[in-house]
Amino acid sequence: MHVAALRTFLVDGPDIWLERYGERLQGEVQSGFSLLTYYALTKAVRIKFSPTYTFPQVIRYVADLRLNLGEGAAELDPRVAEGLIRYTLGDDTYNGRPPFDADQVTLVRTEFHLLLALILEADLDEAELKNFIEDSATLAREWLEARQDAS
């Protein structure tokens, strides 16, 4: 269900995703869909910014994204967005960690905005999107397995 939900979110948009999966995924903090979304964001950020990037590029990207959101710009917390990007890239000069002193709603909303924007920019075809989602699911699954093995 989580993979199908992510695909719906990325292809059909947040409104249809919310209609189809909102109730079923409610309260899934740090599990299932939340974990898959985080790893999808990580993969999308690395596609955009790796292998090299500068902090000013991250700031400019977030500022441009907020401009493109128009009236919805307030839904994207710039500090959280910049923190998410730098954290997922493993920036050694950055010591922030999720949720970056933000509430859960702000963090998730920012993740969703970043993920949608990055996927739209990547302009993936159907096969690339399928591989992207499968790779994200594999990363999430591997993290869960490693965590369970450590317990």
Tell me the backbone φ, ψ of residue 30, rounded to 5 degrees: 60, 30
Domain count for the chain: 1
Separation in Å, CA 102 to CA 10, 40, 77: 24, 21, 9
pLDDT tier for residue 65 given thresholds of 50, 70 and 90? very high
> Residue 15 pLDDT > 80, yes or no?
yes
pLDDT bin (cut points 50, 70, 90) of residue 1 is confident
pLDDT at 98: 87
pLDDT at site 103: 93
CB atoms within 10 A of CB 5: 20
Backbone φ and ψ for 15, nearest 5 degrees, come out as -65, -45
**Is the alpha carbon torsion for 8, 9, 13, 14 positive or negative?**
positive
Structure tokens of 110?
Answer: 């920012």
Residue 78 reports pLDDT greater than 90? yes
Rounded mean pLDDT of 45-60?
93
Cα–Cα dist 125/148, whole Å: 35
Say if residue 30's pLDDT is above 60: no
| pTM score | 0.89
The pLDDT-based confidence of 144 (bands split at 50, 70, 90) is confident
- In the block, residue with structure tokens 């999720």: 98
Show the 3-state SS of 92-107: CCCCCCCCCCCCHHHH
Q: Report the mean per-residue pLDDT for the chain.
A: 91
What integer pLDDT is reported at residue 22 of this predicted model? 78
CA distance 6 to 14: 10
pLDDT digits (tens, 9 = 90+) for 97-117: 988 999 988 998 999 999 999
Contact by Cβ (8 Å): 10, 115: yes
Tell me: pLDDT of 27 over 70. Answer: no
Classify the C-alpha dihedral 135-137-141-147 as positive or negative.
Answer: positive
In terms of residue numbers, what domain contains 36? Answer: 2-150
